[in-house]
Structures are given as C-alpha cells and as structure tokens.
Amino acid sequence: MGCAAWAIRILAGASVLSLAAADVPTLPPLEPLFREAVARREKQYGPEDPRVAASLLDLGAFLVREKRSAEARIALDRALRIAQQSPESTVALRAETLALLARSAPDAGQAAAYLTKANPLQLEAQQYEAAVQSALQLSEFAEEAGSDPEALR
C-alpha cells in the first residue's frame, strides 16, 4: 500500500474520530449545580435546615477536590453550624463536615483540631450504622421465621 493510501486511511480515521467526538455531549460545569442545589433547598426548607447543610457539604467537598480551600471552608463552616444547631442532623453529617474542614484547613494545627472532633463522631456514626444493620437483619430473620420481631428482643 502506497503512502497516498495510508494518508487517506489516516484522514478517514481522523474524520470518523472527530464525528464521534462531536456526538459526545460535554458535561456542564458542576459548581453552579451544587450552588443551585443549596439555593433550592434554602428556598424550600429554610436556610437553617439540615438538608441545606447536606447540600453545603456537597458543595464544600467539590471545592476541596478543586483545591479551593478558602471557599470550601465558607460552605463547610456554615454546614457545620447548621448541623450542630439542628436536632435532626445526623452524626455522620457532622463527622464528614469536620473531616472535610480538616482537609481544607490552612495549617496542620487547625487540621488536627478538626480531626480530633471528627474521629469520635465517625466512630459513633459507624456504631449507629452497625446497630441499624443488626436491627434490619433481626427483622428479616423474624419475618423469614414467621415471628414477631419485637418478641425476639
């Protein structure tokens, strides 16, 4: 096969690749989506709702991954404040927020302080999750055995 034939094949392959690439949709920027989720939850549930804190946590995690620590800390500080003031917030939400604050901390001392607070909460969240799983397994066992789950306690 001559050089011209190879050139035609290469060009044909390139045009097929460019057509395939043109068919692939590009993803929208993610940050506006995270910010919109926060705004929608604020509007729907109020600015101090734990669901707003969860959206702020998502935004903060995105900003940490983008290495925008100062902006991440603003979202995460607010998420933590909401979570600490709300009796409906979960231990896991507070623990994860503290862990992300540690990752975005400007120095090792602040990171250590956040982790010192996060570690017991992470353990508590794990214990809670294990207890929930045990209760679910017990309930499933009781249903399979045809027993009342309360009678097994």
Please give the pLDDT value at position 137: 82
Is the per-residue pLDDT at 8 higher than 80? no
Alpha-helix residue ranges (DSSP H) falling in 46-107: 50-65, 69-85, 91-104
pTM of the model: 0.66
Cα distances from 121 to residues 20, 103, 112, 127, 129, in angstroms, run 48, 16, 15, 10, 12
Please give the pLDDT value at position 147: 61
In percent, how much of the chain has pLDDT > 90? 39
Tens-digit pLDDT profile for residues 78-122: 999 999 998 877 888 888 998 999 999 999 988 888 888 887 877
Please give the pLDDT value at position 5: 53
